[in-house]
Structure 1
Amino acid sequence: MVYKFRVILDAEEDVFRDIAILETDTLEDLHNAIVNAFGFDGLEVASFYTCDDTWNQEDEIPMFDAGDVPGETKIMSDYTLNSILDEEFTKIIYVYDFINMWTFLVELAAIEDTIETGVIYPNLLFSHGEMPAEAMEKHFVSDFDQEESYNEFEDDLDEDDLDMFHGDDSYEDYGFEENWN
């Protein structure tokens, strides 16, 4: 079967590519197809992220295993497309270049039974829009920044609570010798 994806750049202008790829190809193959379709050089690190129906990011699927225990982390080449995406789970997020954070919304638009003879997959089906010179600036807000209780705590701080030595700059109360090395 052939999976047909619409890959949309998270940008102000409409920029997207439609890509056809075999269901048994890997996420790494899809990564390479996206890199080629959008004209990147392919030298930057990238990851896919599973997500829910409203594009809320979930689990990371990186290009390579950077974990403490080799082989513990599954990577793009470990996942075939049909093992992670199907008619029910159609969305995945792709981030290329963690400095510039080019972010793409990747959606499985169709699954076709027929593999066209003479077509080399992955295949760029359609291209719309020009890539901007720079990635859209991302604004990240933590949950902690949004809590009003933080501001209440900040107002109650006493400057003496922040001074470790309460003005006498003495280490004597801590049991350290002066030259403990």
Structure 2
Amino acid sequence: MAVLKFRVYWEEDDAVYRDVVIKHSQSFKDLNDIVLKSFEFDNKHKATFYRSNDHWQRGREITLEKYDKVYVKEPLIMEQTPIGTEIKDPNQKFIYIYDFNRNWTFLIELINVSKDENQKQAYPGVIRTEGLAPNQYGTRSLLGDKFVEVEEKYDLTKGEEGFGEEGEGGSGEESTEEEQTDTFGEEL
């Protein structure tokens, strides 16, 4: 059974990507679920795939369900569509849109096809993670929620007295040793 390896890029930053493996007989619903899991997104919103070409133009649509909108061509349904049926090119590409209000967009590219299954690997699965995933409902920082709490507590967005822009308020001359003290009167 063929195993497909896809690289899933976050459209906003191609340094943020996940490599996922999936069997060619598994459905687009399985691909949908592993993409969301790999980026730590919930599974509560509408989603759709588009078969794409090398120029990332949208082709045939593969939706989670049939939505109330006008379709150029009747969409395929993720649950009923095996991935292998939509691979038309050795470098097949798909565009994945999740949460139509926020319009999260991921670019998916087939990067490898293998005939051998790894018995230790669960399919579908994530085999490589690069970059910090975007936060689905807000901003994420390397410091996590702790920094947000500090920022809110001390309101770091307001300028405080004594702090100005570079080059502001000085005559350009170096200060004397006497002037080099901190706010507690101690020499620096």
Q: 1:77 aligns with which of 73, 76, 79?
A: 79
Partner of 1:33, secondary structure, is helix
CA contact (8 A) 1:3 1:20 kept: yes
> Which letter does structure 2 place at the counterpart of 1:108?
L
The residue that corresponds to 1:167 in the other structure is none
Q: Cα gap change, 1:12/1:73 in structure 2, threshold over 3 Å: closer, same or farther?
A: closer
CA contact (8 A) 2:48 2:97 kept: yes
TM-score (ref. length: structure 1): 0.67
TM-score (ref. length: structure 2): 0.65
Q: Cα gap change, 1:6/1:73 in structure 2, threshold over 3 Å: closer, same or farther?
A: closer
Q: Distance in 1 between matches of 2:59 and 2:13?
A: 24
How many residue pairs match? The answer is 132
CA contact (8 A) 2:5 2:20 kept: yes
Q: Distance in 2 between matches of 1:20 and 1:88?
A: 15
The residue that corresponds to 2:93 in the other structure is 91
Partner of 1:31, secondary structure, is helix
Matches within 5 A, 1:160-171: none
Q: Deviations over 1:35-63 (max 9, x none)?
A: 10000011111000111221011222110
User: Aligned-pair distance for 1:65?
Assistant: 2.1
Q: Distance in 2 between matches of 1:3 and 1:13?
A: 20
Q: Distance in 2 between matches of 1:134 and 1:25?
A: 26
Q: Distance in 2 between matches of 1:65 and 1:134?
A: 24
The list of structure 1 runs, each at least 4 consecutive aligned residues, that deviate by more than 3 angstroms after superposition, is 86-89
CA contact (8 A) 2:8 2:17 kept: yes
> Which letter does structure 1 place at the counterpart of 2:33?
N
**What residue ranges of structure 1 are gaps of 5+ in the alignment?**
136-181
The residue that corresponds to 2:102 in the other structure is 100
CA contact (8 A) 1:2 1:114 kept: yes
The residue that corresponds to 2:66 in the other structure is 65
**RMSD after superposition:** 2.0
Percent identical among aligned pairs is 30
User: Aligned-pair distance for 1:13?
Assistant: 5.9
Partner of 1:29, secondary structure, is helix
**What residue ranges of structure 2 are gaps of 5+ in the alignment?**
138-188
Q: Distance in 2 between matches of 1:113 and 1:6?
A: 18
CA contact (8 A) 2:91 2:109 kept: no
If each structure's helix is expressed as a fraction of its own residues, which one has the higher value?
A: 1
